[in-house]
Amino acid sequence: MTAGRAAIIEAPERIVVADVEYADPGPGEVLVRLTATGLCHTDLGVLAGGIPFPTPGIIGHEGAGRVEKVGPGVTAVAPGDAVLLSFTSCGACDSCVSAHPAYCDTWLPRNLLGGIRPEGSAGVTRGGEPVAAHFFGQSSFGTYAIADERSLVPVADDADLTVLAPLGCGVLTGFGSMWNVLDPGPADVVAVYGAGAVGLSAIMAAAMREPARIIAIDRVAARLDLARELGATDTVDASSEDVAARLAALTGGRGVTLTFDTTGHPGVARTALDAAAVCGTVLVCGAPPPGTEIAVDIQGILTGKVLRGVTMGDTEPRDLIPRLVALHAEGRLPLEKLEKRYALDDIASAIDDMHNGRTVKPVIVY
C-alpha cells in the first residue's frame, strides 16, 4: 500500500480532503504520483449529484505526473516516465480499433459509472474502508492515481506537467471537437457557445483553420475578451444582448454554418439550432443530468440542419495529445492564459471560482 491524500466526495456538494491508501497496480494498471490535475465541469456535475458516481468517491480526470509503479503486462510506460492522463477504453471493440475510443462499447462503465477496478476490488481505501475511484480510468484528485495503461500518454521528461494537465479532457474535447468533427473551412461561420476551457480550446483550433468568422458567446465579459485574444473575430454577451439578433446581423441573415455548444444547456442548444444556416451543423457536448432533453422544431431542421453529439472530441488521446503538446511548445496553444493554480486543500475554492466564472481552468497542484 502507498499512503497519500485525496479529495473525497462524501455526498452531493460535500467534498473533503483526507488520508487514503493506494493499492499496488494490478494487471494493465499503473500507479502514478501526480504533479497536477485540472478541474473540469464534468467534475462539478458529479459533485452536484447530476452525474451518478458512487460515494464516498474520488473523481478528477485531467491528471499529470510520473509513473511510480507498473502492474503486470504494462509495456507502454516504465517507472519515472512523465505522463498525462486521459479517459480509458477497452482497446478491442470496433470503435477502439478504428481510432474512435471515445465511443468504446464500454465507455460509460469504464469512465463514469463504476468507481471500482475492472476486477471489482477497491484500489483506494480510507481507514481500511473502500473508496470509489477509477473515474475516467484514473481518479486524479489525489496525490496518486491507479490508472489504466490506456489512460496514459507519455510526454518528454522535461515537460511542464502542471501547465499541460488540462490536455486530458477539457482542451482535448474542445480542440478535438472543432478539429476532428466540425472541421471548418475558409467559407464557414463558426459560433462557440460557452467560453470556458472547452470553448476557448475550440476557438484556438478554429483560428488555426481561418474560417470567415469565429463568434464567441458567453455571459462573462472577461472570458469574451480572452476569446478575442485567442482568435475569435466577434463576441456576443448573452447577459445583455439578443443572441439570435446578433447572430443574424453578423451572418447577414444566413445563419451559422458550424456551431459548437459547450454549455450542456438544452435552451442554448435550441437557440443554436434556430440560428443555424441551411445545412448547418450544431455540435453539442457537456454533462447535464441524465434525461436532459433538447426541444427540436422538426420544421426548423428540414432545411438540412444537423444536431450532433460528441464525446471527448472524438479523439484518440495518444495521437492528439502529443500534437497539442507540440502546439503549446510552439506558442500556438497558450494554456497559461486559461489556468490558475490551487493547492489540494484549497479545492473547494477552486470549485467555487470555476462555478462562478472567476477561473477558466483551475489546476490543482500537489
Instruction: Assess contact for 98 and 53: CB atoms under 8 A.
Output: no
Contact between 4 and 54 (Cβ < 8 Å): no
pLDDT, average across residues 295-316: 94
Beta strands at 189-193 and 82-85: parallel, antiparallel or unpaired: unpaired
- For residues 20-47, average pLDDT: 93
Per-residue pLDDT averaged across 12-27, rounded?
93
What average pLDDT is seen over the chain?
A: 93
Q: Are the beta carbons of 281 and 258 closer than 8 angstroms? A: yes
Task: Give CA–CA dist 349/339, Å, rounded.
Answer: 14
Instruction: Give the Å distances, CA to CA, from 238 to 247, 299, 349, 359.
Output: 11, 26, 26, 19
Cell of residue 136, nine digits = 475516467
Which tens digits make up the pLDDT trace of 62-118?
999 999 999 999 999 999 999 999 999 999 999 999 999 999 999 988 888 766 666
Q: What is the pLDDT of residue 357?
A: 85
Q: Which of 80-84, 237-241, 291-295 has the lowest mean pLDDT?
A: 291-295
The set of cell numbers assigned to 217 is 458567446
The b-or-e profile of 150-167 (16+ CB within 10 A means b, else e) is: bbbbbbeeebbbbbbbbb
Q: Which cell numbers hold the place of 353? A: 471560482
What distance lies between CA 261 and its chain's CA centroid? 14
Q: Are 64 and 83 in contact (CB under 8 A)?
A: yes
Mean pLDDT across the stretch 339-359? 93
pLDDT band at 271 (very low <50, low <70, confident <90, very high): very high
> Rounded CA gap, 285 and 316, in Å?
17
Question: Given this model, what pLDDT does residue 173 score?
Answer: 96
Torsion of CA 46, 222, 235, 41, to 10 degrees: -10
Three cell numbers, residue 2: 502507498
For residue 50, how many other CB atoms are within 10 A of its CB?
16
Reported confidence tier of residue 237, pLDDT bands at 50, 70, 90: very high
- What is the predicted pLDDT for the residue at 118? 65
What pLDDT does 195 receive? 95
Pairing of strands 152-154, 189-193: unpaired
pLDDT value, residue 75 = 94
pTM (2 d.p.):
0.94
pLDDT in tens, 34-53: 999 999 988 988 988 888 88
Q: Nearest-5° angle of CA 203, CA 206, CA 212?
A: 110
- What share of the chain in percent tops pLDDT 90? 85
**pLDDT above 80: residue 205:** yes
State whether residue 237 is helix, strand or coil.
Answer: strand
Q: How much is the pLDDT for 330?
A: 95
Q: What is the structure's pLDDT at 49?
A: 83
> Is residue 186 helix, strand or coil?
coil
Cβ(274)–Cβ(204) under 8 Å? no
- CA within 13 Å, CB half, 57: 28
Task: In whole angstroms, give the CA distance from residue 277 to residue 282.
Answer: 10
**pLDDT single digits (tens) 114-128:** 666 666 666 899 998
Dist. CA 80–CA 35, nearest whole Å = 13
Domains and CATH numbers, the chain: 2-168+334-365 (3.90.180.10), 174-311 (3.40.50.720)
Percentage helix, strand, coil, to 5, in the chain? 35, 30, 40
The least confident of 103-117, 240-254, 274-288 is 103-117
**Beta-bridge partner residues of 9:** 15, 57
Contact 110, 133 (CB under 8 A): no
CB atoms within 10 A of CB 317: 27
pLDDT at 288: 78
pLDDT of residue 121: 63
Q: Return the axis-axis angle of helices 266-274 and 243-250, rounded to nearest 10°.
A: 30
Average pLDDT value for residue range 312-338: 96
Phi, psi of 290 (to 5 degrees): -55, 140
